Amino acid sequence: MRRIRYQEIADELRRRADAAPAGSLLPSEAEMSTEFKASRVTVRRALELVRDDGLIAARQGFGWFVATEPVRQRLESLGTIEAQIEGVGKVSERRVEEFAFEQPPARVRALLRTDQVLRVKRVNFADGEPFAVVTVWCPSDLGAQLSRQDVEARPFYELLDIELRGATQTIGADSAEPADARLLGIRVGSPLLRCQRVTTDRRGEPILVSEHLFPAHRTEFVVDLPQAEPSTTPSGLRLVD
């Protein structure tokens, strides 16, 4: 029996989805329309068939990607990305992209109150796929004994011989710049979750400032809210100018 064109395209997309890593992006509908020499309507019908099979999914700003279960991170206690990833049964890896002692940006200087820091930029992987781009700033006197190999093998929390008090984490939305999009394997301008964390020692003094960039379709943050007085305003909400 003659196959309808959108069914033929759907068969090819199923093969690609089966062979591709979970969470990886598919070409845009316009690119697929050109590749398959078919109209956007035909391509969209094929994509919807494959989505109905549970093999692919779509989100605003990302387009279509191989279906994946987002990695959920709980924010009830201070912890590392690695612990969160491993806690849901995924293999955690990291790769250091940049390691330098330098002057910090103004906002980091104001928090750490120092003119020299160790800056480390790395990519975190979950089951071999890029899951986060993380930049950490540490006062140079604390990071002086650390090497690139050290920070690639273990989290800062394990490397610094300092008792921690806790951290403040701020989560917002952003879009991927070219360098970070390349590291995360997503398109420039794709939605990101941007998390900024300030970790303090027992005296409440900031000792680490970090920035975490997560592709919005690969992660979720879970917060348990205690019972409180009824309110329409979420606890901890701050307005941003």
Q: Give the torsion through C-alpha atoms of 25, 134, 218, 175, to 10 deg.
A: -60
pTM of the model: 0.75
The dotted CATH code for 5-66 is 1.10.10.10
The dotted CATH code for 71-222 is 3.40.1410.10
Q: What residue spans define the domains of the chain? A: 5-66, 71-222
Residue 182 near residue 110, CB atoms below 8 Å: no
pLDDT at 101 exceeding the cut of 70? yes
pLDDT in tens, 53-94: 989 888 777 788 888 777 777 766 677 778 777 777 788 899
Average of pLDDT values for 218-234?
A: 69
pLDDT at 172 exceeding the cut of 70? yes
pLDDT in tens, 181-198: 999 988 888 889 999 999
pLDDT in tens, 42-58: 999 999 999 999 898 88
- How many CB atoms lie under 10 A from the CB of residue 21? 12
DSSP H/E element including 107: helix 106-112
Residue 218 near residue 62, CB atoms below 8 Å: no
